[in-house]
Every structure is written in C-alpha cells, then in structure tokens.
Amino acid sequence: MSEAASLLSGETALVTGAGSGIGRAIAVAIAHEGARVVLADIDREKGTRAAEALTAEGLDAIFVETDLASEGAADALFDAALASLGQISLLVHSASPRRREEDTVFTVSDETWSRMVGVNLESAFRLGRRAGTHMKELGLKGRMLFITSLHAESPRNLPHYSASKAGMTMIMKELARALGPAGIRVNALAPGAVAGGGFAANPALAAKIALGRLGAPEDIARMAVALLADRFSVYMTGTTVVVDGGLALHNWIDPSGP
C-alpha cells in the first residue's frame, strides 16, 4: 500500500447516501485510503452495486439499506453498521432526498418538508449523538463529517432544504464543542453545484462558476478525505469548508452580474 493509500488505514466508517453522487464518491475515496466502510442508502440497487464495486477491488465494504426519513431508522442503521464493523471511528452524513429546484416556501408540501428535515436534520442529530457517545465510550479519536450546502447560508428557494442544511451546520458545531475535549473532530463540507445524486445540474450554471465548470462528486470526496485524515486536518473542528469552484462569488442579487 502506498503512503497516500494509508491515510485512513484501520478506520471504520459509516457513510450515508452512499449509493450515488457525493456520498458514493466519498465512500469510494475513503475505502481506497484504507478504511472499512458501511455504505447506507435508500436505493438497494445502487447501494449494492456501489459496495460490490469496492469488494471487487479487494476493499472492505458492505451495503445497508435504510430510509432515514422513517422513525427509528437512524438508530437502526447505526446498530447495523456497528454490528458489521465492530466499532465506528468515522461518520459521514451525506444522505439527502431528491428535491425540486423550483420549490418555494409557498409550494413545498408538508410531506416533502417532513421528509427533508427527517433525513437531513433529524438523522444528523441522531447519528451524530450515537457516534459521539460510541466514540467517547471506546476512547476513539473519531471524526464526523456532515455534507451541508451553500443553501445553509444563502436562501434561494428550497426552504425545506436550506433550513435543514442550516440546522445541520449548527448540529455540527454543537457536536464539535461537546466532543472536542475527547479529541473527536466534527466538521462540515459545503459543496457547490455538483452534478449527480440529488441535484440535476443545469450545464448553463457553469457560466456563473469562477472555475468555469460544474463540480464532480470526486472533487468533494478529495476534500472529505482531507477533513477526515489527521495528517491534514488534525487541528480542525467545528468548521465548514466550501468546495464550490467559486460559485458563491456570483452576485445572486444582480442578474446582470457574472
């Protein structure tokens, strides 16, 4: 194994939303860095395919089907991952329901609101609490990473998505503060416009991105590895790292702006 491939050697990871998009890319990246990984997703076919692709490479991966909008699902998932791995030193919460970009505060349904909040916010809290308790009890210097969004800071329709991601950011900070004395690091990663997973990116959006292209899930996964690896981020906790190619530099108020 090369030096680069040993960044997460010996780690045990639970990754939600790992069947496609950013979640899958992160699961693949950390598996290649030596971690044993439980991939969790609502889509059995995609999740199974993702796990099988890793095991075909000789990597340690297993798929667990879950619907994190369901009552008790977060705790059941954590228990299943723990049963498979023995312990969990890394938690990545990337799962998020698909969304309609045109939804506004007046058009989003109660059901859609509840599902988004259940997966993004409720599950972040429950998984983070379980992981933090587990890591403290075992004396693990664990790490958690929550995938948030530019929407957590800047509203652009999607009130259910924006509110849940903003709440997730505060859960991350609360966990970081509570778990820091135990040496457990908790951070967030805010992607920009990334094609795949729950986001159907319009290619025309690339004109508003400073680097001139949409993001790829692998762009996000590389930073995720850096935030999870002590070699690069041992003194980072309670912070959100933006990986957006410069999208947030765009003047959203002025339609004539770049």
Catalytic (active-site) positions: 161
Contact 43, 19 (CB under 8 A): yes
Helices (H) and strands (E) in the chain, counts: 8, 7
Residues contacting 83, CB < 8 A, separation 6+? none
Neighbours of 10 (CB within 10 A): 9
Please give the Cα distance from 35 to 40 (Å, whole number): 15
Question: Amino acid identity, residue 18?
Answer: A
| Residue 221 near residue 189 (C-beta atoms within 8 A) | no
What residues form DSSP beta bridges with 61?
Answer: 37
Q: 191, 215 in Cβ contact below 8 A?
A: yes
Question: Per DSSP, what are the bridge partners of residue 59?
Answer: none
Question: Any idea which residue has 């996964």 for tokens?
Answer: 221
**Residue 240 tokens, joined:** 């959100």
In this structure, what token pair is assigned to residue 160? 């259910």
What is the sign, positive or negative, of the torsion defined by CA atoms of 153, 73, 145, 31?
A: negative
> Is 29 in contact with 223 (CB distance < 8 Å)?
no
